[in-house]
Amino acid sequence: MRIHKRTALALAAALAGSLPLIVTGAGTATAEETGVALPSASFRDIAVDGVHDRVFVSDPAGGTIVVTDYAGEVVQQITAEEGAAGLVLSADSTKLYVALSTAGAIAEIDTATLTETRRYPTGADTEPQNLAMAGGKLWFGYTVAGAGGIGSLDVASSAPEAALVPSGRYWYYAPSLATSPADPNVLVAGEEGVSPASLAVYDTAAGDLQKRTERSFISSPSISYLNDFAVTADGQSVIVAANNPSDHLVVRLSDLSSNGSYSSWQFPNAVAVAADGTVATGADGDFVKTYRPGATWPAFREYVVNDLQRDGLAWAPDENRLFAISGFSYGSAPTLHVLPDAGKLDTTLSLQAPATSPRGKDLTVTGQLWAAGEPFPAGTAVEVTRTDAANPAGTPVGTFPVSTTTGEFTITERPRATGDITYSATYKGDGGHLPATARATVTITK
C-alpha cells in the first residue's frame, strides 16, 4: 500500500470565482506494488542488475542466491554457495561476486548464464561477509580469529589473488563497505552491532588503504548499533541507519561531521541511494520513504513494508523501481517487495473549458501540468485529442508545450458543428515524473 500525504491546492485557488469553467483532471497513472514470497531460509544482501533486469538475493543459511525478474518472480536459485552473504556486481553487470562466509572464498557468477564460473579463496579461516568495488578492485570485509579486517581482490588481473590489507585500525567484526561512482577510489567502512558506531574513509587509488578520516560517534552526533549506510550520489556525504538515533543521520564524507537527517520513527535499518541522487530510507518501525535528490524533507513516497530487513533496500539502475526485503521476525518467509515508480513524482494534469461555446467562434481550452511545485524542463509537452460526433474514436488536435514556470498551455479551435466536444490531454511522463491524463467537455451551441 502506498500512502500519499500531499494535496494539490494550487489549481483550486487559481480557479476561485470561475464557476462557468469546467475543470477536469485525472490522477497519476501508477504501477501496482507487489510482494513475492522467496524460497529462502534467510536474508543478507540484495543487488540489482539493470542489464538483464534481474534481482539477486543472498540466503546464507540456505547457501543459495535467489534470482528474480523485475516483477519479483523467481527465475532461478543458484545453489552450493556456502554462507552466501554480501553481493556486488561488476561495473558492466556481467559478473556477480558473492562473499561465501562459510567457505572462505568469493564466488564469481556469470549474470547471463546464472552459473558460478570461478571461486577465489580469501585466506585461511577467513569469513568474508561484505563486498564493494573501489579503485578497480573488489574489497571485502571479513572476520578471522575473532576480529575483523578488510581484504582486496584484483579481479581485473590475469590471476586474481586475495590479499588482507592493513586498514590502520582494529575492527571487532567484519566491516560493512560502501562506495560512490562520484569518487570511484573512495571506500567507506563501518562496523555494525557496536556502540558507539564508527566509520572510516579510505582512498584506494594506490591499491592499498590510505585513510582519509575516521570517527567513533560518541557525541554530536551520537550513533550506536549501525545497521546500514550509503554514500550519496555526489560523493559528499554518508547516510547512516542505526538503532540510535531514530532518524537517518547524514554526515560529511570529508570529516564525518553532522550534516542533517532524514526523519524516521524508530530503528532505522536500511538506506539506498539511486544513481540520480534519489534517497530511499527504511526503518523496522516506520515506512519506507523516498526523497528527491538533495532534499531531506518532505518524503514524496511512503510505503508500508512491515518487518523491513537490515540492508533490505536496493534501487534499479533506472531509478524508478525500488526493491525491499521483509520477513522473518513474525515467522513469515522472506518477501521481495517491488515498489514501482518509487523515484518519480506524482503528476497532476488539468483542463479548464467553458461549459458552452457558440459554433464558429474561437473556443479556448487551457490546461496546467505540475508536480509537487517543481517546474517541468523546457520541451515538456502534452498531446491533445478531440472526440465529437464526427470523430467518435478521437482525432489528434496537436502537441502543446507547457510553460516551464507555470506549467500552463492553451488550445484554441473554432468548432464548425454543434454538440458535445471532449478534449483529452495526455502527458506521457519522463524519468522523474509519472504520466497523467485529463478531460474536459464543451457543448457547442448554435
Q: What are the tens digits of pLDDT across the range 306-325?
A: 899 999 999 999 878 999 99
Q: Is residue 440 pLDDT above 90, yes or no?
A: yes
Contact 393, 60 (CB under 8 A): no
What pLDDT, on the 0 to 100 scale, is given for residue 25? 56
pTM attached to this predicted model: 0.88
Please determine whether the domains at 10-29+346-445 and 34-339 fall in the same fold group of CATH. Answer: no
User: What is the average pLDDT across 279-290?
Assistant: 92
Non-local CB neighbours of 243 within 8 Å, separated by 6+ positions: 224, 225, 227, 267, 268, 269
Type of residue found at 197: A
What pLDDT, on the 0 to 100 scale, is given for residue 431? 83
Per-residue pLDDT of 155-201, as tens digits, reads 999 999 999 999 999 999 999 999 998 999 999 999 988 999 999 99
Q: Is residue 13 pLDDT above 50, yes or no?
A: no
Q: How far is residue 82's CA from residue 105's CA, in Å, rounded to a whole number?
A: 9
Contact 262, 272 (CB under 8 A): no
What pLDDT, on the 0 to 100 scale, is given for residue 282? 96
Q: Is residue 32 pLDDT above 90, yes or no?
A: no
Q: Is residue 367 pLDDT above 80, yes or no?
A: yes
Q: Residue 14 — pLDDT band, cuts 50, 70, 90?
A: very low
What pLDDT, on the 0 to 100 scale, is given for residue 8? 34
Q: Is residue 18 pLDDT above 50, yes or no?
A: no
Type of residue found at 248: H
Q: Is residue 331 pLDDT above 90, yes or no?
A: no
User: What is the average pLDDT across 87-96?
Assistant: 97
Q: Write a three-state SS string for the chain.
A: CECCCCCCCHHHHHCCCCCCEEEEEECCCCCCCEEEECCCCCCCCEEEECCCCEEEEEECCCCEEEEEECCCCEEEEECCCCCEEEEEECCCCCEEEEEECCCCEEEEEECCCCEEEEEEECCCCCEEEEEEEECCEEEEEEEECCEEEEEEECCCCCCCCEEEECCCCCECCCCEEEEECCEEEEEEEECCCCCCCEEEEEECCCCCCEEEEEEECCCCCCCEEEEEEEECCCCCEEEEEEEECCCEEEEECCCCCEEEEECCCCCEEEEEECCCCCEEEEECCCCEEEECCCCCCCCCEEECCCCEEEEEEEECCCCCCEEEEECCCCCCCCEEEEECCCCCECCEEEEEEECEEECCCCEEEEEEEEECCECCCCCCEEEEEEEECCEEEEEEEEEEECCCCCCEEEEEECCCCCEEEEEEEEECCECCECCEEEEEEEEEEC
What pLDDT, on the 0 to 100 scale, is given for residue 6? 33
Q: Which CATH architecture has domain 10-29+346-445?
A: Sandwich (2.60)
- The residue with greater pLDDT, 27 or 397, is 397
Share of the chain above pLDDT 90, in %: 83
Q: Residue 374 — pLDDT band, cuts 50, 70, 90?
A: confident
Mean of the per-residue pLDDT values for the chain?
91
What pLDDT, on the 0 to 100 scale, is given for residue 22? 55
Strand 419-427, strand 436-445: pairing: antiparallel
Domain boundaries, the chain: 10-29+346-445, 34-339
Q: Is residue 398 pLDDT above 80, yes or no?
A: yes
- The burial class, CB within 10 Å (0-12 / 13-18 / 19+), for 268 is buried
- The burial class, CB within 10 Å (0-12 / 13-18 / 19+), for 134 is buried
Per-residue pLDDT of 92-108, as tens digits, reads 999 999 999 999 999 99
Q: Is residue 9 pLDDT above 90, yes or no?
A: no
Contact 44, 85 (CB under 8 A): yes
- Among residues 71, 42, 46, 70, which one has the least CA distance to residue 57? 46
Task: Tell me which of 30-34, 294-298, 355-359 is least confident.
Answer: 30-34
Backbone angles phi, psi at 122, to 5 degrees: -105, 0
Contact 40, 78 (CB under 8 A): no
Q: What's the grid cell of residue 101?
A: 562466509
What pLDDT, on the 0 to 100 scale, is given for residue 335? 95
- Among residues 287, 296, 291, 285, which one has the least CA distance to residue 258? 296
User: What is the average pLDDT across 61-82?
Assistant: 97
Q: Is residue 125 pLDDT above 80, yes or no?
A: yes
What pLDDT, on the 0 to 100 scale, is given for residue 3? 36
Q: Residue 285 — pLDDT band, cuts 50, 70, 90?
A: confident
Per-residue pLDDT of 259-271, as tens digits, reads 999 998 889 999 9
- The residue with greater pLDDT, 163 or 333, is 163
Domain 34-339 carries which CATH code?
Answer: 2.130.10.10
